[in-house]
Amino acid sequence: MAVTVRGLDSVDREEFPIGSGSIVGASFATVAVASPADYITIVRPEAVVGDADIARILRQGAVVDTVVESMSLPVFWDGHPTLWKSWMIFASDRHGSIGGTDLWYCRRDGNAWTTPRQLHRANTPCDELSPFVRQSDGVLWWATAGGPTLGGYDVVYASLRDDGDSLTLGPPRNPGAPVNSPSDELFPVATDSLRFASNRRARTDFDVYVIVQPGQLPSNPLPPRTSPLATTTPPMLPHEADSATVTGTVLDQATRRPVADAEVTARNQSTKSVIASARTDTSGTWRLTVPVERPVDVIAQSGTLFLDRQTISLPRSAARTTVPMERPLALPTTFVLRVNFPTAVFDAPYESTLDSNGLETDQGWQDALDEVARNVALSGPRLRRLVLIGHTDDVGTDASNTKLGRQRVEFIIDELERRGVERSLMEGRSAGEQLLPTRRTGESEDTWRKRARRVELVKVLQQ
């Protein structure tokens, strides 16, 4: 049975408990506490938007109170504390952060804490969150949206060393699948097994997952790069001399307003492996480190809208510089999926998809459906229904085209279901040849008909 901690059930929001001497901390519970001091992340109703503090719980008999710790700063977001020896490691977006929230650390000095310092090697231009130290060997686990992730936030780990007056972190390692996925993984808790939160399951927010391999998790010192949990070797970022920083913005295609907290991912065009990922800030801005002289697909998407992609290839001269994208990534409310079918066929598409001009792209239809399924998963419980509308060209009768449009939609629904989208969530319709696109001046009949053969997707969100 779960009970509310007396004295903390106030209008403040309290979350992420961590206890001194706890076996399990950060994201699940505080147990076997050896000290009367517990730490939580606290957000007060009168605080400015984006402010949070690390607070200590004081227990004196039946009286419980909270005291904000000295390392917390007004206005900034400070939270997710974890303890190791005399050190506290936490996440913060204070001045000096590389980007978003970084990991910082400080040491207890009597009743106060030393000035926090950045935990070098842990931080990227994207968010770092939810650190957790395994007490038995000092291996630090945390979640990051930067570096070579499989998509979104990934759980990573590295060894910690106590140097007396500072902490040293070993090279961060990504355990790959099945721990991480193209979705978000956060709040790792590592003992003999690994527990973490993930939104990889369609139509959910976050669930708790566990990797049960007693005695097999990475320890300090670190094992070889491929850990016992990994089934794939994560891609590594290129050397600084072979990479550049790309910046850009994400907009709502209809309103032209910035989209905050959109996911932006850079993928190797040939292998489809994730090179880097980031989240947009409140102005819709993002930045990624990508290799030069190599085609890279940059994909932006959000749970309430769909996705947009651009392919870039930076010259060698761009290495070690910052390059702005030529145009924003614009997320549509209606997504046009141009899987290229022969005129009267519904279950055997051509390999390549088509662009808005009816020309073949370098993206296969399988990869296009992978992206759509990933985007639907981002919507989580906000998505009430996914409507798919099939369109045909003008060849054949109206009745036959209405049937053909429905068959093509059913084909796409079957493929999305194979990729984890619940069938009950999808609603198929057919417009047949009723909504043909306007033929452009000088456009060939064949190209016009290719543009007509399409499936449109619309998200119906919870109010």
pLDDT tens column, 202-240:
656 788 888 755 444 555 443 332 233 333 333 334 444
Whole-number Cα distances in Å, 217 to 121, 158, 191: 21, 12, 8
Model confidence at 124: pLDDT above 90: no
Q: Which residue has the higher pLDDT, 99 or 406?
A: 406
Q: 401 with 462, same domain?
A: yes
Model confidence at 165: pLDDT above 60: yes
Q: Is residue 221 part of a domain?
A: no
CATH code assigned at 426: 3.30.1330.60
pLDDT at 213: 52
Q: Which residue has the higher pLDDT, 214 or 255?
A: 255
What percent of the chain has a predicted confidence (pLDDT) above 90?
36
- Do the Cβ atoms of 10 and 19 come closer than 8 Å? no
- Number of domains within the chain: 3
Q: 265 with 351, same domain?
A: no
Cis peptide before 224 (omega within 30 of 0): no
Q: 261 with 322, same domain?
A: yes
Question: Which residues, including other chains, have CB under 8 Å from residue 55's CB and lie 6 or more apart?
Answer: 14, 39, 40, 41, 42, 66, 67, 68, 69, 72
Q: 312 with 250, same domain?
A: yes
3-class DSSP state of 113: strand
Q: Is residue 142 part of a domain?
A: yes
Range of the domain at 271: 235-332
The reported pTM is 0.55
pLDDT tens column, 308-322:
999 999 999 998 899
Q: Is residue 224 part of a domain?
A: no
pLDDT at 379: 86
- Do the Cβ atoms of 267 and 299 come closer than 8 Å? yes
pLDDT at 24: 32
Q: Is residue 204 part of a domain?
A: yes
Q: 327 with 340, same domain?
A: no
Task: Quote the mean pLDDT of the chain.
Answer: 81
Cis peptide before 221 (omega within 30 of 0): yes
Q: Which residue, 292, 307, 332, sits at the end of a domain? A: 332
Q: Is residue 229 part of a domain?
A: no
Q: 382 with 445, same domain?
A: yes
Q: 24 with 99, same domain?
A: yes
Mean pLDDT of 90-115: 88
Q: 139 with 252, same domain?
A: no
Ranking 5-14, 64-73, 81-90, 206-215 by mean pLDDT, the lowest is 5-14
What percent of the chain has a predicted confidence (pLDDT) above 70?
83
Q: 136 with 270, same domain?
A: no
Question: Which residues, including other chains, have CB under 8 Å from residue 149's CB and lie 6 or more apart?
Answer: 174, 180, 234, 274, 276, 277
Q: Which residue, 289, 306, 332, sits at the end of a domain? A: 332
> Token pair of 267, please?
């993928």
Q: Which residue has the higher pLDDT, 70 or 13?
A: 70
pLDDT at 203: 59
Q: Which residue, 267, 301, 332, sits at the end of a domain? A: 332
Task: List the 53-60 sheet strands across, edge first.
Answer: 13-19, 38-43, 53-60, 63-68
CATH code assigned at 305: 2.60.40.10
Count of positions (residues) in the chain: 463
Q: Is residue 5 part of a domain?
A: no
Q: 450 with 346, same domain?
A: yes
Q: Is residue 350 part of a domain?
A: yes
Q: 340 with 327, same domain?
A: no
Q: 41 with 172, same domain?
A: yes
Q: Is residue 222 part of a domain?
A: no
Q: Residue written as tokens 């808005």?
A: 356
